[in-house]
């Protein structure tokens, strides 16, 4: 399901007193913010907003220049991806959290790894040329859809995930349809390929199918071997659908501090402990916007792009978004990584609060 966005750069009222650290905030483990270039008072205000507000926030991790700044957790209501009911969870550093559509961004990184291994085709390859069983669908413009169009969601297929789950939401069909690629590509064309952004988790499901064919192993196994193990990420899971297929578009569960490692990997252009885990040119491409989304943001290769204000000017960020308030923000110019997990699923107001919290954290950077 498309994550609720509601992102707008805005000035945020902050207190900037003489507080030297945020160690007194219950539920937060903090380093010295000033040593990492944060204004202590403003950082304290941001952490207080996380811990004391009424929003259903669960976890917050802030890192700057590879160093931990703060890690905070709260108790809150949560509803895992397959659950119909919410339940209370005492979140802490050891608790995995649904990442929902953040899974798409991780899938995008896996495609880049497989591309460097020459196991999947480049972005300009036409998708239906790779799926001979769907040759009958090479008409009405579908034959022009490329891998790149699936990556930046400009395929042009009619697809609307904005509503609640049910028969009218096409993402719901991804959980149980026998032939996902046919289900996705059988839909009519709403616009020519490459012309307009339209959020489409079905495209990510097709990418995952092609990736598994190319690498010769299930998506989670490939993720473990090529991405998570090199980063030292061992405590995670990738949920599957009713047919046992990994939910490439929504099923990843991970600890917030481990998701922050992926953010740091982005800052380091795919390099980790001396090893090039993700090709640097793929990271560079992932950090670049390709298309306007119509929400005041941009998109490219399964990553969102926007701007926030810090140090008196606009700073570009790249982010992975997931429904409910799941966020991984990366701000290369600041060396900043921010992870937020929450349980505000399908909540427009909740998304606004999460995004404002990120703006507040970025604005607390003073050097």
- Residue 262's nearest CA partner among 115, 63, 118, 70 is 63
pLDDT at residue 4, as a whole number? 65
| pLDDT tens sequence for the chain (367 residues) | 777 665 444 333 333 333 444 447 888 988 767 789 999 999 999 999 999 989 999 999 999 999 999 999 999 999 999 888 999 999 999 999 999 999 999 999 999 999 999 999 999 999 999 999 999 999 999 999 999 999 999 999 999 998 766 677 899 999 999 999 999 999 999 999 999 999 999 999 999 999 999 999 999 999 999 999 999 999 999 999 999 999 999 999 999 999 999 999 999 999 999 999 999 999 999 999 999 999 899 999 999 999 999 999 999 999 999 999 999 999 999 999 999 999 999 998 898 999 999 999 999 999 9
CA 9, 10, 13, 14: dihedral to nearest 10 degrees?
A: 10
Q: Classify 238 as helix, strand or coil.
A: strand
- Residue 334's nearest CA partner among 358, 306, 362, 304 is 362
What the block records as the tokens of 179 is: 């032939």
The Cα 294–Cα 156 span in angstroms is 15
Which residues, at least 6 apart from 203, have a Cβ–Cβ distance to it below 8 Å?
149, 150, 151, 153, 155, 157, 184
Contact between 204 and 218 under an 8 Å Cβ cutoff? The reply is no
Domains of the chain (ranges plus CATH)? 28-100+254-363 (3.40.710.10), 105-215 (1.20.58)
pLDDT at residue 19, as a whole number? 42
Beta bridge partners of 252: 238
Contact between 340 and 57 under an 8 Å Cβ cutoff? The reply is yes
pLDDT at residue 90, as a whole number? 98
- Residue 214: which H helix or E strand, with range? helix 201-215
What the block records as the tokens of 238 is: 């990738």
Q: Classify 301 as helix, strand or coil.
A: coil
What the block records as the tokens of 256 is: 């917030």
Write down the pTM of the prediction. 0.94
Q: How many residues does the chain have?
A: 367
């Amino acid at each position: 399901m498309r994550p609720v966005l509601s992102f707008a750069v805005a000035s945020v009222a902050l207190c900037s007193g003489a507080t030297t650290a945020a160690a007194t905030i219950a539920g937060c483990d903090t380093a010295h913010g000033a040593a990492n270039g944060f204004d202590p008072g403003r950082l304290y205000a941001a952490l207080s907003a996380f811990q004391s507000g009424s929003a259903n926030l669960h976890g917050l991790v802030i890192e700057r220049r590879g160093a931990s700044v703060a890690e905070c957790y709260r108790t809150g209501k949560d509803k895992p991806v397959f659950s119909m009911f919410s339940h209370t969870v005492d979140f802490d550093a050891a608790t995995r959290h649904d990442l929902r559509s953040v899974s798409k961004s991780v899938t995008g990184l896996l495609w880049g790894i497989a591309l460097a291994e020459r196991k999947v085709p480049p972005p300009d390859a036409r998708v239906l040329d790779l799926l001979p069983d769907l040759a009958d669908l090479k008409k009405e413009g579908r034959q022009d859809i490329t891998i790149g169009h699936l990556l930046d969601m400009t395929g042009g297929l009619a697809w609307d995930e904005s509503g609640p789950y049910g028969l009218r939401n096409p993402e719901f069909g991804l959980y149980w349809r026998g032939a996902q690629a046919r289900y996705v590509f059988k839909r009519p064309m709403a616009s020519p390929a490459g012309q307009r952004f339209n959020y489409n988790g079905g495209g990510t499901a097709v990418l995952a199918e092609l990736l598994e064919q190319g690498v010769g192993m299930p998506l989670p196994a490939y993720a473990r071997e090529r991405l998570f193990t090199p980063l030292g990420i061992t405590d995670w899971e990738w949920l599957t659908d009713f047919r046992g297929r990994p939910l490439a578009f929504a099923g990843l569960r991970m600890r917030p501090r481990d998701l922050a490692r992926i953010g740091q990997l982005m800052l380091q252009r795919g390099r980790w402990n001396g090893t090039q885990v993700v090709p640097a040119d793929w990271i560079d491409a992932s950090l670049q916007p390709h298309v306007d989304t119509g929400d005041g943001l941009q998109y490219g290769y399964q990553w969102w792009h926007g701007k926030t204000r810090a140090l008196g000017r606009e700073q570009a960020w790249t982010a992975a978004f997931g429904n409910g308030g799941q966020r991984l923000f990366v701000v290369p110019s600041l060396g900043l990584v921010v992870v937020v997990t929450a349980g505000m699923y399908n909540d427009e107001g909740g998304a606004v609060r999460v995004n404002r919290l990120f703006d507040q954290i970025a604005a607390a950077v003073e050097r």
